Structure 1
């Protein structure tokens, strides 16, 4: 099963995610009964009304969280919200995965505020996120995900609409997206886009829930047979589109896995082969997934080497720094690319050749449960060849036959 959280049009907030899960079928009575427990752990907060109702947004039927509260305090230390969530999680009997999710979500809020204000976590004060609303969004979402058994499924996010323009918050006016949103999404695997409105479209709570829930972010839906759809409405109304978060659950029909990688490119016009060879080795050691160097011709008939690097977003800065320092290039092109990959695993297989025992690593690609093909790590072939004093190609053939026999007998 796979769940797609589609926030590319209207963004995401905590109440929109919670409402979309209720719309999909989560037990709303269970959620309401259990989140009232927050009153026991959050002094000065009272829930006056809490319900989920149907609403029409731009012709689309969705579920909307109706919440009225009485708040004695409008500023709290972040750790008070955290302690409330931790205490509630134990009392209402959340699963371990749900507890971790709720805890990590509030930690994302805390760390973002601490980073922005340069304060230790224990000193961070919440303003917009100080009310019982935040607790309801986080714990309610954890309850709903538990109820729908979604923690066991693969969860995919689309790029998140964050909006534009300016917004007012506790410290004045800032450009949108606010610093808290940027900090929460920084170093995550979630991409952001401006969206269709000059307003805040994604809230810090919504962002925190998403980064702790999604396994990956893709531009296009994966191949799937749709089983259920949930629509969660936000409070705002927009002229051109419904303020709705859409979630889609279904059975994956892809035999391939998908992910998003980064591609770095640069042209090298005056660099020796020795420098390029060293550069490739250093890039691979520092996290590049692959490096390709292609000969070409550029302006004025100049020969060039086009360097293409595949990597994760977490390694971009380091790899660009290596490129610049090692080659002297003055510019690096960066783009994101979706790819499909065959599911694979790396296993260690014991083999015996010419009376000697070895352990070799083998990458196995599978099609459903059957083996599509395999490839033995070349470094392990080298070690065996050196040990037996035999040519590489001969040892490669011997190892492949032994591995093929082992895999076929499993």
Structure 2
């Protein structure tokens, strides 16, 4: 099964994720009871009222968290919130996957604040995230995900709307997205976009939950048969769109995986083959999945080389800089593309050729637990060929026969 967390319009917050899971069918009583258990571990915080209600957000009926709390502290050390979450997770008997999810979500918040303010983790103070609300969002979501058995699904996030403009909080006024959001998403696979509002659409808690839940980010839905949909409403109302997080659960309809890659293209004129060859090697060694060179003719009959690079979104900027510095090109076209990938595994297989032992890495594609085909890394074929003083073609054949024999014995 696959779960899509669709935050590309209204972003994501902790209460929106929790509400969408309740809307999908998570046990409401279990979530509320778990939230009340947290009161024991966070002194000075009291849940006065908690429940879920249906609301209409710009034409979409969604579930909304109704919460009233009493707080006698305006700030707390982040580790107090962390200890409360971990103690509550142990007390209510969360599964190991749910417990790790809750632990890592609060750690993401802590690390973001630590990096921003240059303070050790044990000294970080929470302001906006210091109340029991944060605990409820994280513990409640962990309970609901556990209840719906979603931790075993492949979880995909769409690009995340973060909003724009400015926002004012305990550290003054800053541009949106705030530094905490940027820190949480930094070095993750998540893609962010501005969205349709000059207000905050994604909160630090929502961002922390998302990066620790999603396996990957994609601009496109996978091929799937829809089984259930959950709508979680945020507290704000916007003109022009529903402030609703949408989560969609479905059954994948084929064995292929869908992801999103970036395509970088540029035309190179008056450049030597040696420079192009060096450029290809350098791009591949720095994250390009593939590089293709196509000869062509441009304006005024000029010969050209069209360079096409496939890469992950996270590698786009570094490869663009490398392409410019290596070739001097004055412009690079960039576009996103979805692609289907045949699932494969890479295994190391010991083989013996001419009474010498080697270990080769092999990409294997299986279907119904049967090996459909395999491919040995060419660099390893070359090394073995050199060590045996054989041609690449002959070595490749001998390795393939050995690998086939080993795979058939497994």
Q: TM-score, normalised by structure 2?
A: 0.92
Listed one character per residue, the Cα deviations across residues 61-116 of structure 1 (whole Å, up to 9, x for unaligned) are 32211100011112222222122212222222222221221121112222222333
Residue 191 of structure 1 aligns with which residue?
191
Residue 98 of structure 2 aligns with which residue?
98
Q: What is the Cα deviation at residue 367 of structure 1?
A: 4.1
Alignment of 1:133-212 (within 5 A): 133-212=133-212
Residue 267 of structure 2 aligns with which residue?
267
Residue 40 of structure 2 aligns with which residue?
40
Alignment of 1:344-363 (within 5 A): 344-363=344-363
Call closer, same or farther: CA 1:49–1:2 in 2, change over 3 Å: same
Residue 376 of structure 1 aligns with which residue?
376
CA contact under 8 A between 1:255 and 1:368: conserved in structure 2?
A: no
Listed one character per residue, the Cα deviations across residues 248-283 of structure 1 (whole Å, up to 9, x for unaligned) are 112111221111223333333343222222222222
Residue 337 of structure 2 aligns with which residue?
337
Residue 79 of structure 1 aligns with which residue?
79
Distance 2:219 2:189 in 1: 12
Alignment of 1:3-402 (within 5 A): 3-402=3-402
Q: What is the Cα deviation at residue 398 of structure 1?
A: 3.2
CA contact under 8 A between 1:342 and 1:366: conserved in structure 2?
A: no
Structure 1 residues 151-160 or 189-198, which shifts more?
189-198
Call closer, same or farther: CA 1:353–1:171 in 2, change over 3 Å: closer
CA contact under 8 A between 1:222 and 1:254: conserved in structure 2?
A: no
Q: What is the Cα deviation at residue 47 of structure 1?
A: 0.7
Distance 1:109 1:356 in 2: 53
Structure 1 residues 333-342 or 72-81, which shifts more?
333-342
Aligned residues: 410
Q: What is the Cα deviation at residue 117 of structure 1?
A: 2.8
CA contact under 8 A between 1:343 and 1:367: conserved in structure 2?
A: no
Structure 1 residues 235-244 or 355-364, which shifts more?
355-364
Distance 2:159 2:285 in 1: 30
CA contact under 8 A between 1:15 and 1:65: conserved in structure 2?
A: yes
Structure 1 residues 93-102 or 7-16, which shifts more?
93-102
Listed one character per residue, the Cα deviations across residues 187-233 of structure 1 (whole Å, up to 9, x for unaligned) are 21111222222322211111110111111111221111222221111
Q: What is the RMSD computed on CA atoms of the aligned residues?
A: 2.3
Distance 2:339 2:386 in 1: 37
Distance 2:383 2:7 in 1: 50
Unaligned runs of 5+ in 2: none
Q: TM-score, normalised by structure 1?
A: 0.92
Structure 1 residues 212-221 or 335-344, which shifts more?
335-344
Q: Secondary structure at the match of 2:308?
A: strand
Unaligned runs of 5+ in 1: none
